[in-house]
């Protein structure tokens, strides 16, 4: 439930007793491992609900929907730092004839109609996103605000079906609606996109995990307190694609890194886990994934997607469109220079797939740009 290694009983020796480390480590151990810990925590949560607390462990619960406590301040420094990094990448790709796209993926925190009690301080909503996007360059970079593209096509009831009830991510319905905008934008704005516009009938929606329990990221923080039986875990499968023909590399394009696609994506289907997470259902946040699709060899387009976890359900959808699709997660490449990685692989297109709920400047830590 903690999604981390719990503290273990420390080794007793004179050194850590003298410097005080032993007692600190032992206190952490007791906190993590005391008898019936989860039972006590669940009892405490029952007490908070019984006494009508607004937020339980920082979350607001209504009808088996879990909402995070709203954030009320915009980190302007982080936003301006992120925008500066995007501007540097814009110049870099422009000089090398690479297309640059920024897809702003609609974050659950402001897409749902959350009715917090009147005494809760109001969220800043989309102010963070709007400031960031306003600082992006007008030339070369192609900015696509998916939430804006959704307006007029989808309703608030649709948005309720686009996101998990107990997790901070979108589900397959939301990801597929987002992919529709992504594919159509590539088709309209890219000179290097080899595919046709989006057609809904080209995808089958399959939900093979009906016998599993879903542990959402919010529900994890509530010690799986919320019944997740209503959560649907589905996949959008291209009807005319043969994913078994794809060559997949995990963490580098050497033979030692070859994997089956099912090892990377949809691992929950291949395992017998009773309880699965968003990462199990779709894909974990690896530092890099490369997919070679022989059906697109003639076009030969190579695309790099800079992604956060919202992009995970999109992996097979976008890989179906290009000869080489590379997913790169800046969070797991802290010791690498993105610019060197791009030049090494000679991409045709670089595209961001970042959720737009709150700007995290470490997602834009690309390393020093070449002079």
Q: What is the pLDDT at residue 355?
A: 96
Q: What is the pLDDT of residues 199-257, one digit of tens each?
A: 999 999 999 999 999 999 999 988 888 989 889 999 998 888 888 899 999 988 999 99
Categorize the per-residue pLDDT at 17 as very low, low, confident or very high, splitting at 50, 70 and 90: confident
Q: What is the pLDDT at residue 3?
A: 62
Q: What is the pLDDT at residue 1?
A: 60
What ranges in 96-171 are assigned the alpha helix state H? 108-111, 127-134, 146-150, 156-161
Read out DSSP for 287-344? Answer: SEEEEE-GGGTTT--EEEEEE-GGGGGGHHHHHTT-SEEEEE-GGG-TTS-HHHHHHH
Q: What is the pLDDT of residues 148-193, one digit of tens each?
A: 999 999 999 999 999 999 999 999 999 999 999 999 999 999 999 9
Q: What is the 3-state secondary structure (H, E, C) of 25-47?
A: HHHHHHHHHCCCHHHHHHHHHHH
Categorize the per-residue pLDDT at 2 as very low, low, confident or very high, splitting at 50, 70 and 90: low
Provide mean pLDDT across the span 36-42: 80
Q: Are 69 and 61 in contact (CB under 8 A)?
A: no
């Amino acid at each position: 439930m903690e999604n981390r290694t719990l503290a273990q009983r420390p080794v007793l020796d004179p050194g850590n007793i003298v410097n005080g480390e032993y007692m600190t480590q032992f206190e952490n151990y007791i906190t993590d491992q005391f008898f019936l810990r989860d039972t006590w925590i669940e009892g405490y949560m029952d007490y908070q609900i019984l006494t009508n607390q607004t937020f339980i462990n920082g979350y607001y619960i209504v009808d088996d929907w879990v909402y995070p406590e709203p954030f009320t301040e915009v980190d302007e420094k982080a936003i301006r730092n992120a925008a500066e990094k995007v501007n540097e990448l814009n110049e870099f790709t422009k000089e090398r004839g690479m297309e640059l796209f920024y897809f702003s993926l609609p974050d659950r925190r402001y897409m749902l109609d959350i009715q917090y009690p009147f005494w809760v301080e109001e969220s800043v909503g989309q102010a963070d996103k709007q400031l960031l996007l306003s600082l992006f360059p007008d030339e070369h970079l192609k900015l696509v605000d998916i939430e804006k593209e959704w307006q007029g096509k989808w309703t608030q009831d649709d948005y309720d079906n686009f996101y998990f009830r107990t997790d901070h991510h979108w589900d397959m319905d939301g990801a597929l609606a987002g992919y529709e905008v992504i594919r159509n934008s590539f088709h309209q704005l890219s000179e290097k996109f080899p595919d046709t516009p989006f057609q809904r009938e080209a995808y089958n929606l399959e939900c093979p995990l009906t016998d599993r329990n879903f542990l959402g990221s919010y529900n994890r923080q509530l010690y799986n307190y919320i019944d997740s039986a209503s959560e649907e875990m589905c996949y959008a499968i291209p009807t005319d694609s043969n994913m078994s023909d794809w060559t997949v590399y995990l963490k580098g394009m050497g033979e030692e890194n070859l994997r089956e696609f099912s090892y990377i994506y949809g691992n929950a289907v291949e395992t017998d886990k009773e309880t699965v997470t968003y990462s199990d259902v779709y894909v974990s946040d690896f530092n890099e994934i490369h997919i070679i699709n022989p059906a697109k060899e003639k076009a030969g387009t190579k695309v790099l997607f800079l992604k956060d976890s919202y992009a995970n359900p999109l992996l097979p959808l976008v890989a179906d469109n290009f000869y080489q699709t590379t997913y790169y997660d800046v969070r797991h490449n802290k010791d690498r220079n993105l610019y060197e990685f791009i030049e090494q692989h000679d991409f045709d297109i670089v595209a961001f797939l970042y959720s737009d709920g709150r700007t995290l400047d470490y997602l834009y830590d690309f390393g020093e740009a070449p002079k």
